Amino acid sequence: MNDKNGSIEIIVGPMFAGKSEEILRRIRRLKYAKKKYLVFKPKIDNRYEENKIVSHIKNEADAISIKQANEILKFLNDDIDAVIIDEVQFFDENIIEICENLANDGKRVIVSGLDMDFRGEAFKITSILLCKAEVITKLTAICLKCGNPATRSQRIINGQIAKYSDPIICVGASEKYEPRCRKCHIIIR
């Protein structure tokens, strides 16, 4: 029987809020505490490097790039203290049960991701994990229009605001997205 008290921690917010920086900060603390951990990221996130979590300001940590949530299981062993998962919204729904099982097994599970899509609607996986998490960190960015706290990600393609009917998943950085507050976020139907 495992006597460690596992948990789920989730870091959410819009693009450019510092989610990856916060994950990297937590990884540094795990290293300092001499804890064993594994870091995962979705293969679809090809913005910087395939086998690293890289923040927009280019800080980084090694990561295992996977296509499906179940791939996490083949890397685990009993002496892993923590499992870190970046860009959780890109994974299939199995990620929810995997996070729950890892926490139930005494692991510290740290996930980060967007809480809303470019339309301002909840990502299902992230919203479910928010309900199941013991620790929630909601970060904001700075609205590029007015300078107020930004909670949304505005998708912009070729200088034009994306339409509501555009595909939900479109991986990108500052060339496709900018942080916006509620008032400045625009939805074109």
DSSP string for 5-72? --EEEEEEESTTSSHHHHHHHHHHHHHHTT--EEEEEETT--SS-TTEEE-TT--EEE-EEESSGGGG
Which pLDDT band, with edges at 50, 70 and 90, does 164 fall under? confident
Mean pLDDT (the chain, rounded): 91
87 annotated active-site: yes
pLDDT the model gives residue 84:
98
Which pLDDT band, with edges at 50, 70 and 90, does 180 fall under? very high
Is 108 within 8 Å of 6 (Cβ atoms)?
Answer: yes
Q: What is the mean pLDDT of residues 152-159?
A: 89
Find the catalytic residue in 21, 22, 50, 87.
87
Cα–Cα nearest to 56, from 165, 153, 182: 153
Phi, psi of 164 (to 5 degrees): -55, -35
Q: What is the mean pLDDT of residues 118-132?
A: 96
Which pLDDT tens digit goes with each residue over 11-45?
Answer: 999 999 999 999 999 999 999 999 999 999 999 87
Which pLDDT band, with edges at 50, 70 and 90, does 47 fall under? low
Q: Could you tell me what percent of the chain has a pLDDT over 70?
A: 93
Cα–Cα nearest to 140, from 8, 10, 9, 19: 19
Residue 1 has pLDDT above 50, yes or no: no
Which pLDDT band, with edges at 50, 70 and 90, does 172 fall under? low
Exposed / middle / buried, residue 17 (Cβ in 10 Å: 0-12, 13-18, 19+): buried
pLDDT the model gives residue 119:
94
Q: What is the mean pLDDT of residues 82-88?
A: 96
Which pLDDT band, with edges at 50, 70 and 90, does 151 fall under? very high
Instruction: Tell me the helix, strand and coil percentages in the chain, rounded to 5.
Output: 25, 30, 45
Domain regions of the chain by residue span: 7-140
Q: Give CA angle at 8 (3, 12), nearest 5°.
A: 165
3-state secondary structure of 186: coil
Q: Where does 7-140 sit in CATH, by number?
A: 3.40.50.300
